[in-house]
Amino acid sequence: MTPALELENVHKAFGPTPIIRGVSLAIEAGTRQALIGPNGAGKSTLFNLVTGKYPVSSGRIRLNGEDITGQRPYEINRRGLSRSFQVTNIFPWLTVFENVRCSVLWALGYRYSFWHRVSRARDVQERTETVLEQLNLTARRHVPAGVLSYAEQRALEIGITIAGGADVVLLDEPTSGMSRSETEHVVQLIREVTAGKTLLMVEHDMGVVFGLADRIAVLVYGEVIAHDTPERIRANAAVQEAYLGVPQGAA
Amino acid sequence: MSTPAPATTRPLAAGRAVPTDRRRLYGLWIAAAVVLLALPHVIRTPVGVPIMNQMGIAIVFALSYNMLLGQAGMLSFGHAVYFGLGGFIAAHVLNLAGRGSLYVPVPLVPLVGGLGGLLAAAVLGSFSTARAGTVFAMISLGVAELMAASSLIFDRFFGGEEGITTNRAKAPLLFGLSFTKDREVYYLIAFWVLVAAAAMYAFSRTPVGRMANAVRDNPERAEFVGYSQRRVRFVSFCAAGLFAGVGGGLFAINYEILTAENMGLNASGAVLLMTYIGGIGYFVGPIMGAVVFTFLQSMLSDYTGIWLLYLGILFLATVLFVPTGLAGVLMLHAPAWRARRLPRLFGPYLLAAGLALVAAVGIVGLMEMVHFIASADASRGAKRLFWVSVAPRTVTPWLVFAALAAAGGLGLRWAAPRAAAAFVEASRPGPGR
Amino acid sequence: MLQIAFFSVLNGLVYGMLLFMLASGLTLIFGMMGVLNFAHAGFYMLGAYFAFTLGLSIGFWPALVLAPLLVGVAGALVERYGLRRVHRFGHVAELIFTFGVALLIDEAVALVWGRPARGYQIPAVLDVPLFRVFGASFPAYKAFMLLVAVAIFVFIFLILTRTRAGLIIQASLTHPGMVAMLGHNVPRVFMVVFGIGSALAGLAGVIAGPVLGTFPGMAQVLGSIVFVVVVIGGLGSLTGAFVASLLIGIVQTFAVALDVSVGQVLMAVGVPAGASAALHDIWKVTVAQVAPIMPFLLLIIVLMVRPTGLFGTRET
């Protein structure tokens, strides 16, 4: 079966410095997977390569079997892949409502039309309302996004990512900087909005990772050293050494 | 958890269209139409109608400029190119119509100008809009300079130094309506101002119009939700060029002459000034800016040779202290208005305004006297300033104006914080008393 | 023919070095602060006017030193009380601000000194021909201009590369945040650089005023060309500004000197004449008429193809 997302021997160097040193990864459709690794491993760079922000130095990237290597971010997004950002990347002067609405416009087929009125477009309004409810931001809909609290902004960040209905969702550290209770809310939100979709997320919070992920890929110094179920990752000695520190149960 | 402000109080904002919301919006447009119709009857001075015509053209031009600056975040130093090109094309078509080669009645000429502006924007925008920010601004400057220099080469189209003249009386009539008198031209301009403004407002409510805002706020993220920022900028650019061309067409009808100056950097600078002073964050901002700018330009230039300096100071003051512009300042008082506490502000505001006026009189007096000494020949000794004959070569007026400026300034230092405090007090949320 | 070529090269060098004096300050300011200073040519104009007025009372040579200093102070004040406020609103707001300052300087100069050109004269000692060749003479004043410009280039280069202050400035050019973390007062560095850049522009005005004319429109005339130079050379690159200044200076001077029409040029390369009336306008255009367009054409092409400019490393 064609994997939803496939990386084939992807390399990326910035000048003379190699960051991604030959990553081959296949993410099966409908699964929730996590990408973990120590700081500086290249996780965000990998996301940027997949979503078209940076060009690859070599290698291929395939989305649902189609080659998307070297395409622009909007081309990739239109094929059904969407990402969130580690550093909140919203539209600060638009209201919360408008933020989400901008994310559904292309997916609903409105393109560059100047003959529709967005406020009259039923489907746009309904989809936006639905997403806002999932994000629990309905009450804050008229607030300029730049004014929201950090946790609300992170929720909006996820909202913008999934509002368009992309099948493959990439979340970059969705719970970073959050308290315990905020994290629980966000995990619940992620579970809800990625039901039936393919999810790949970068995370440092191991509780979130082991709670959500079907499979985990471990990236160390630009290479994937393991890609397996959570239990086997836990037991993997190389992973423990590189990232998890002292193995569980040891003195 | 605070309750959201009801949508009815923000008729020009986004969100679900509540029926009362829409009624209010249509009401505003109808009221505007009524006001426009009534104006020439209310203002009966001989210069009233020509100035209102000038304002109408400026309004269309400034609104079109804000499609770039306020909506899409694109700072252009060469928007007058599309205004001018639209005007030149309109003038040529009007001449052809007058000779009988084309059937284009005067009321349709602004449309021709619009098409001209659109064509120019599509061609020049194909490469101009590739980048945003400072690079876009520089390219727009380059294009403006290019067009200015080209105008000297293509005599046939631009008419060389004298420009292109036209005659609206020679064009074929539509429904027997002629547009020879200023009054008649006024109604035509008012009609087109209403149509153009409504169209531009509607554009801002369309998908591409909303995405222009998104691209302005965060062009990178807009790409990640499926939109090419370059494409969005290009569409905005073409739309802005179209309406600038409409303004040019109105200009051609009104003044019956177009020169390279109308395309030049000074004209582009003027529209930047008026739009920014009016307020780029609100739809009505450019309208207010255009009215104020045109008013100052025509009124002030009768009284002083340094009116552009005053406008420059006003502009700089806006950039430094009131970046939201006139419209922004008005909108800032919306909470106070909603709470019906505006009357409380009259006292402190009047006081501060009065002191500011005193300081302004002092500063203006000093500047006018400097201007007099620098430019008038040595034989003239006196000058009329503020309805009083003043002798700038003596010491007294200098002392007087300096004293006024100092007194006003010091008084303002005392009065301004009080006005600000009154504003804060009046704006706080809660039931009105 | 030889006379035209020789003097065009020489005049082109002088003009180019003048452009460089203006462009160097502008590119340094951009490289460090990310703001394209629209008012830069305005400081150039202030330099000319200050020197003219000071020169009337204290003579050319003291004014040569004092006027740029005054302009530098003015520039520092503009940065400190104006630009710094607007900085947090983003680059577009900064551009709009400097545009406003440019307008203000234009109008203020017209206010104080009047609109007609001022008789700013070359000092008598330099108002002599330096040498005669090919039947025409080259004025000593132009050689003086060249000398000053070269001296400035060497001076800046030495300061930037050999002194500690220069090192800090260079570092602030690319990593202002890090430099601030190291304990340097980066806002003060910005103010100083802005002041020095303005002083350089003022100096250019002091020496160019007598030759290019001292009138309120002189900022507008040169302003756009300087932008072109800086963008083509590469924003933030001093070498780029140097190369581009000379390039444009020489090319423009040559173009103006050549009184040949486009049609003649095309005929010389073998394209037949006698085109339709619509193209007639283009045919009879002389190279001198096209000269003003060329820098802007080049500007647009460079911005499209290589937005960092010839030598630049930093895009706007």
B18 touching A (Cβ < 8 Å): no
Would you say domain B23-332 falls under CATH 1.10.3470? yes
Highest mean pLDDT among B237-241, C213-217, C244-248: B237-241
For B321, list phi and psi in degrees, rounded to 5.
Answer: -110, -30
Contact yes or no for A2/A65 (Cβ under 8 A): yes
Answer whether residue C130 shows pLDDT above 80: no
pLDDT value at residue A217: 94
Domain map (residue ranges) of chain B: 23-332, 335-427
Q: What is the mean pLDDT of chain C?
A: 83
Residue C281 pLDDT? 63
| pLDDT band with cut points at 50, 70 and 90 for residue A148 | very high
Q: Please, are residues B77 and B267 in contact by the beta-carbon 8 Å criterion?
A: no
Rounded distance between C-alpha atoms, residue B292 and residue B356, angstroms: 19
pLDDT at A226 over 70: yes
Chains B, A in contact, 3 or more Cβ pairs below 8 Å: yes
Q: How far is C152 from chain B (nearest CA, A)?
A: 27
Q: How confident is the prediction for chain B on average, in pLDDT?
A: 87
What residue in B sits closest to A93 (Cα-Cα)? B217
Q: Does residue B427 carry a pLDDT above 90?
A: no
Contacts of C33 in chain B (CB under 8 A): none
Q: C28 is written with which tokens?
A: 């340094």
Contact assignment for C104 to B312 by CB distance below 8 Å: yes
> What is the least distance, in Å, from the CA of A110 to any CA of chain B?
7
User: What's the pLDDT band for B18 if we cut at 50, 70, 90?
Assistant: very low
Q: Best interface-test mutation with B: which of A81, A105, A137, A152 has the largest number of B CBs within 10 A?
A: A105
- CB of C293 within 8 Å of a chain B CB? The answer is yes
User: Which pLDDT value is given to residue C89?
Assistant: 81
Q: How far is CA B403 from the centre of its chain?
A: 35
**C-alpha pair distances (Å), C228 with each of B153, B305, C231, C298:** 21, 32, 5, 8
* Token representation of residue B35: 């006001």
Average the pLDDT over A222-246 and give the result. Answer: 84
**Arithmetic mean of pLDDT, C103-129:** 84
Residues in chain B with CB shorter than 8 Å from the CB of A82 are 224-225
Mean pLDDT of C125-138: 75
Q: Could you give the domains of chain C?
A: 2-305 (1.10.3470)
Among A101, A106, A143, whose Cβ lies nearest the Cβ of B227?
A106
Q: Any idea what DSSP says for residue B391?
A: -
Residue C239 pLDDT: 84
Residue with tokens 């990386």: A7
Q: Which positions in chain C touch B77 (Cβ < 8 Å)?
A: 99
* Domain range list for chain A: 5-244
- DSSP output for B49-87: HHHHHHHHHHHHHHHHHHIIIIIT----S-THHHHHHHH
Which residue numbers of B have CB closer than 8 Å to C's CBs?
73, 75, 77, 127, 130-131, 133-135, 137-139, 141-143, 145-146, 149-150, 152-156, 265, 269, 272-273, 276, 306, 308-309, 312-313, 315-316, 319-320, 323, 367, 370-371, 374-375
Q: Does B240 touch chain A (CB under 8 A)?
A: no
Q: Are B274 and B287 in contact (CB under 8 A)?
A: no
Q: What is the pLDDT of residue C284?
A: 66
pLDDT at position B378 is: 66
Under 8 Å CB pairs connecting chains A and B tally to 123
Confidence (pLDDT) at B13: 41
**Chain A residues whose beta carbon lies within 8 Å of the beta carbon of residue B226:** 74, 77-78, 105-107, 164
Interface of A to B at Cβ within 8 Å reads 51, 53, 72-74, 77-78, 82-83, 85, 89-95, 97-98, 101-103, 105-107, 110-120, 125, 139-143, 160, 163-164
Q: Are chains A and C in touch, 3+ Cβ pairs below 8 Å?
A: no
Q: Is the pLDDT of residue B214 over 70?
A: yes
Q: What is the fold of A5-244? A: Rossmann fold (3.40.50)
Tokens of C312: 């630049």
Please tell me the distance from the alpha carbon of residue C87 to that of residue C37, in angstroms, as a whole number: 12
The stretch A87-112 carries a mean pLDDT of 93
Q: Which of C118, C108, C114 is nearest to C39 (CA)?
A: C108
Q: What is the ipTM of this complex?
A: 0.91
Cα distance between residue B264 and residue B87, in whole Å: 13
pLDDT of residue C275: 52
| Banded model confidence at residue C24, pLDDT cuts 50, 70, 90 | confident
Q: Do B15 and A120 touch (CB under 8 A)?
A: no
C103-111 mean pLDDT: 91
Residues in A touching B1 (Cβ below 8 Å) = 139
Instruction: Give the pLDDT of residue C314.
Output: 56
Look at B178 and B16; give whichever has higher pLDDT.
Answer: B178
Residues of B in contact with C91 (CB under 8 A): 133-134
- The yes-or-no verdict on residue B2 having pLDDT over 60 is no
Segment C106-129 mean pLDDT: 83
Are A164 and B225 in contact (CB < 8 Å)? yes
Which of these ranges, B39-53, C29-43, C169-183, has the smallest mean pLDDT? C169-183
Residue in A74, A94, A162 to test binding to B, most B beta-carbons within 10 Å: A74
Give the pLDDT of residue A246: 57
Condensed to tens digits (0 to 9), the pLDDT of residues B288-323 reads 999 999 999 988 888 888 888 999 999 999 999 889
Closest CA–CA distance from residue B209 to any residue of chain A (Å): 7
Categorize the per-residue pLDDT at C277 as very low, low, confident or very high, splitting at 50, 70 and 90: low
For position B11, what pLDDT does the model report? Answer: 35
Phi, psi (5° rounding) for residue C197?
-60, -45
